[in-house]
């Protein structure tokens, strides 16, 4: 049987990425981080997702070192914050991230959100950072199809991955198709819709059919549609539960039922407005 530790997706640059990984947004307590990472690694998670904005790179680096395994046994992603975009700031800020992580390289860096002002300069920095070996792969986050088409007009290399909000209530079918056609892996952030769908009757019925939880049904759906995905939990039982999705399969009929739950409903911000404002915009704008 497949398992979380041996299920990888191919990236267009020749590298591979674990299909399911571990999210760390809002984990800012070092001992909580250490327990979460140890549990996740022991459970089989091999991909750890952070960002400059999360303020936890240092404690993730320390928790990963405490595992006492070789650096190439796990995959680390970090994201360049809006305030660090631009050619030299992006280069300097990755070097700062590496210092905080205590690593010589990361596996993947992402532009956290597209911003119009520094759009091409930031990408030029990413291409350079890859050449220098400070990151193995380069990608983006929250880029729409239009942002990717724009990037293509000047990029020497295209992103191998786009980390986007992708859930049963925001299924992003056109982006998934575009990703397949252009060799860009789609990676779901907030893959559990931050808990917003746990009481959904359709998902509850499907969960009961398989003697699984709604969270496991949502993650199994992510697996079957072919995304990479990075659920976050700080609870040992949930970290294990979220990886225990390889011993059942959603039927074609169940997949069709889940397809009806797509309502273009976001848990967070609209990428186009972040692009226009050059920053994540104030909370009073939240939809």
Ligand X SMILES: NC(=O)c1ccc[n+]([C@@H]2O[C@H](COP(=O)([O-])OP(=O)(O)OC[C@H]3O[C@@H](n4cnc5c(N)ncnc54)[C@H](OP(=O)(O)O)[C@@H]3O)[C@@H](O)[C@H]2O)c1
Which residues 6+ apart lie within 8 Å of 71 measured at CB? 103, 104
Answer yes or no: are the C-beta atoms of 32 and 25 closer than 8 Å: no
State the sign of the Cα–Cα–Cα–Cα dihedral 119, 51, 21, 263.
negative
Closest by alpha carbon to 122, among 153, 76, 81? Answer: 81
If the CB atoms of residues 129 and 190 are measured against ligand X, the closer one turns out to be 190
Cβ-closest position to ligand X = 23
Examine residue 193 and tell whether it contacts ligand X (CB under 6 A): yes
Site for ligand X in 154-173 (CB under 6 A): 163
Q: Give the helix, strand, coil percentages of the chain, each rounded to 5.
A: 45, 15, 40
Residue in 124, 238, 240, 279 binding ligand X, rule: CB under 6 A: 238
Examine residue 175 and tell whether it contacts ligand X (CB under 6 A): no
Query: What dihedral do alpha carbons 180, 213, 49, 179 form, nearest 10°?
Result: 10
Answer yes or no: are the C-beta atoms of 76 and 45 closer than 8 Å: no
Choices 59-67, 88-96, 169-177, 183-191 (CB under 6 A): range interacting with ligand X: 183-191
If the CB atoms of residues 144 and 233 are measured against ligand X, the closer one turns out to be 233
Distance separating alpha carbons of residues 70 and 192, to the nearest angstrom = 30
Site for ligand X in 75-114 (CB under 6 A): 112
Count of residues binding ligand X (CB under 6 A)? Answer: 26
User: Which of 8, 25, 45, 54 is an active site residue?
Assistant: 54
Closest by alpha carbon to 231, among 213, 256, 255, 248? Answer: 213
Answer yes or no: are the C-beta atoms of 117 and 278 closer than 8 Å: yes
Minimum distance, C-beta of residue 23 to ligand X, in the bound complex (Å): 2
Site for ligand X in 258-287 (CB under 6 A): none
Minimum distance, C-beta of residue 24 to ligand X, in the bound complex (Å): 5
Residue in 73, 235, 263, 286 binding ligand X, rule: CB under 6 A: 235
Site for ligand X in 29-58 (CB under 6 A): 49
Minimum distance, C-beta of residue 191 to ligand X, in the bound complex (Å): 5
54: annotated active-site residue: yes
Q: Which residues are catalytic?
A: 54
């Amino acid at each position: 049987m497949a398992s979380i530790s041996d299920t990888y997706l191919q990236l267009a640059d020749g590298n591979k990425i674990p299909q399911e990984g571990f999210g760390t947004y809002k984990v800012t307590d070092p001992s909580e981080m250490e327990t979460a990472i140890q549990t996740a690694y022991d459970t089989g998670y091999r991909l750890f997702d952070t960002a400059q904005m999360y303020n936890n790179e240092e404690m993730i680096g320390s928790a990963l070192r405490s595992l006492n395994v070789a650096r190439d046994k796990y995959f680390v992603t970090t994201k360049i914050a809006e305030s660090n975009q631009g050619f030299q700031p992006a280069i300097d800020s990755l070097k700062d991230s590496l210092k905080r992580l205590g690593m010589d390289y990361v596996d993947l860096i992402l532009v956290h959100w597209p911003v119009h002002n520094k759009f091409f300069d930031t990408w030029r920095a990413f291409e350079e950072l890859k050449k220098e070996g400070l990151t193995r792969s380069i990608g983006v986050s929250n880029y729409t199809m239009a942002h990717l088409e724009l990037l293509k007009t000047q990029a020497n290399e295209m992103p191998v991955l786009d980390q986007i909000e992708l859930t049963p209530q925001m299924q992003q079918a056109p982006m998934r198709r575009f990703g397949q056609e252009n060799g860009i892996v789609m990676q779901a952030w907030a893959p559990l819709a931050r808990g917003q769908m746990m009481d959904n009757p359709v998902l509850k019925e499907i969960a009961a059919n398989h003697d699984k939880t709604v969270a496991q049904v949502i993650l199994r759906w992510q697996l079957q549609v072919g995304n990479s995905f990075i659920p976050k939990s700080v609870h040992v039982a949930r970290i294990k539960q979220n990886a225990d999705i390889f011993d059942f399969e959603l039927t074609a009929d169940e997949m069709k039922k889940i397809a009806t739950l797509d309502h273009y409903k976001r848990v967070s911000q609209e990428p186009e407005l972040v692009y226009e404002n050059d920053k994540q915009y104030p909370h009073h704008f939240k939809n």
